[in-house]
Structure 1
Amino acid sequence: MQRLLRDLGDETARLRRRGDDRQLTLASSPTIASIWLARQLPAFQRAYPNIEIRILTVEDPHRLDLAEFDLGIYYHVPHEVDPPGLLANAIFECEEVAAVCSPIYLERHGNTIKPEQLLVDHTLMVVEDHYHDWLTWEIWFRELGLAWQAPLHTLRANSFQLLMNATLAGQGVTLGWMRLLDAELQQGNLVQALPLTIPSRGKLSLFTPQHRHLTEPMRAFRHWVLDKDESQIGQPLST
């Protein structure tokens, strides 16, 4: 019965995606998809030119329909934000969280920002999203041993992508993952507002539906993005 249900689920997924054996549907948040994944895909497509890519953007992985995607890429905090029915492999084993802003914003404020000034003189980007509760300004300040108080100026939204776009446009300072934002930092679109970081509790991870047959495109992408034996299928999340 379990095998029958799994086979039916696979067939349902295939029909709903309206693809073929060459298609790979990747689910991700809009921010990860636009800032990181879109930059990685050209290299993957050069290595696997016969695989057709389809990207499904869903902000919260808890809202994913397992029948609509093959693999997911999200930040994963073990035992705290575990979408059911998925297995997780970390893409980056370690990562730092920094306060970042645009060069224009930093120049506008004299090219130097002190930690205590952030809460008084600057606009802090705040994500109003339960899924991102583990990455907040208060946690960042406290883990650095800095005095915390509610910031005087904030720009709030329930979309990290919207806040990141506002940051790139010079509207304030946001918390960001250094590995995820590496291209933006290397190209000078973003800079660290101050040279302080904390280790990220969440890891950028590849999510694999737990009871899905692995297609060849799924195996290829897992091997490529994880750079390891795809038989290491990952740790199960909540069921």
Structure 2
Amino acid sequence: MQLPPLNALRAFEATARLMSLSKAGDELHVTHAAISHQIKHLETWLGRKLLQKSGRGITLTAAGGEYYRAVSGSLAAIAHATGNMRRDHDMRAITVGCIPSIASRWLVPALPSFQESDPDLDVRIVYARAEERFDDESLDVLITMGEDLSGGRESRLLFSRRNQPVASRHYLAKRNWTIGDVSLAGADLLHDESVDGWKEWFRKAGQKATEPLRGPMFQDFNMLATAVIAGHGVALCPVEVFRREIERGDLLVLSDIATAENQGYYVISNSWAKKPVRRFIDWFMTECGSGA
């Protein structure tokens, strides 16, 4: 592996980027003369002229410009990898953005088990809106609806968003219904932000609903969940997210017909996420029964 003198390489990259021997010296904490000496050393080693005088300043030669483009990208990659390596070692906390429906049902209840398995790593949970996108300046992990197809992102499917009608036993008893004879067209419908979800369900089921669709509307999905569990009516809910409530019998699934079957909830991070972040994601995927 033919590598040039690395100190000379750093001096050349800084000078070419800043277009100044003096500024390069200030950045690298050496004198103007030391920078000039290192660049001449590199030019001798390469057998090519990299810089030339231009008035009172300097410019890159054609060979210098080509070499700078290669060198700057390589040094940036090394700096990025080194920073990640150091942060992996020094990292003491990660920030996780999570939409409330997943946070309240899955993340917050399970968090003590992660703290037991990884006691030196603190987890900061922040509120995330459903439309929020992953921003690696403020988040290490985002748990939300929909995947992120941007370059450099990794999206892992946590839950399907398959929505089916659910209600509590208390509600069915109040209406004197059993699961087999529920008439959803005559049910008290609960809506998540708009009536569009129920309209889509009735269309897919081939049933005619009473128009206009009535019933309370909830902007926050946790309020909708509270209402349906309390027996206020029938709601369209992502059955995987409500798996525990369904297994306990708090909610009953009233129909096999579903909407939003091709949508999902995802755990999103950088594809080069640090090891503590990957440990957290693997743990949470396992907690939710979505694999390691």
TM-score, structure 2 length as denominator? 0.58
The CA deviation at 1:28 is: 1.3
- Pairwise CA RMSD: 3.4
Q: Tell me which protein shows more strand as a share of its residues.
A: 1
Q: Contact 1:119–1:151 at 8 Å: present in 2 too?
A: no
Cα shift readout 1:45-89 (whole Å, capped 9, x = no counterpart): 33323322221112323366543221111221x6xxx69675422
Q: Which is bigger in relative contact order (C-alpha 8 A, separation at least 6)?
A: 1
- SS of residue in 1 equivalent to 2:145: strand
Could you say which residue in structure 1 is the equivalent of 2:164?
Answer: 98
Cα shift readout 1:72-108 (whole Å, capped 9, x = no counterpart): 11221x6xxx69675422124x564221122211211
Could you say which residue in structure 2 is the equivalent of 1:155?
Answer: 216
Q: Contact 1:168–1:189 at 8 Å: present in 2 too?
A: yes
Letter of the 1:33 partner, please give it. A
- SS of residue in 2 equivalent to 1:91: strand
- Where does 1:184-223 land on structure 2 (aligned, <5 Å)? 184-192=245-253, 194-198=254-258, 200-209=261-270, 214-223=273-282
Structure 1 vs Structure 2: percent identity of aligned residues? 28
The CA deviation at 1:160 is: 1.4
Could you say which residue in structure 2 is the equivalent of 1:233?
Answer: none
**In the alignment, is residue 55 of structure 1 matched against residue 120 of structure 2?**
no
- Where does 1:114-193 land on structure 2 (aligned, <5 Å)? 117-120=183-186, 122-128=187-193, 136-150=197-211, 152-192=213-253
CA distance in 1, matches of 2:222, 2:157: 22
- SS of residue in 2 equivalent to 1:154: coil
CA distance in 2, matches of 1:138, 1:96: 15
Could you say which residue in structure 2 is the equivalent of 1:231?
Answer: none
CA distance in 2, matches of 1:103, 1:116: 12
1:69–1:154: structure 2 CA closer, same or farther, 3 Å change rule?
same
Count, aligned residues: 204
Of 60-69 and 153-162, the range deviating more from structure 2: 60-69
Letter of the 2:94 partner, please give it. L
Unaligned runs of 5+ in 1: 15-19, 228-239
CA distance in 2, matches of 1:207, 1:115: 41
Unaligned runs of 5+ in 2: 1-71, 287-292
1:46–1:126: structure 2 CA closer, same or farther, 3 Å change rule?
same
- SS of residue in 1 equivalent to 2:178: coil
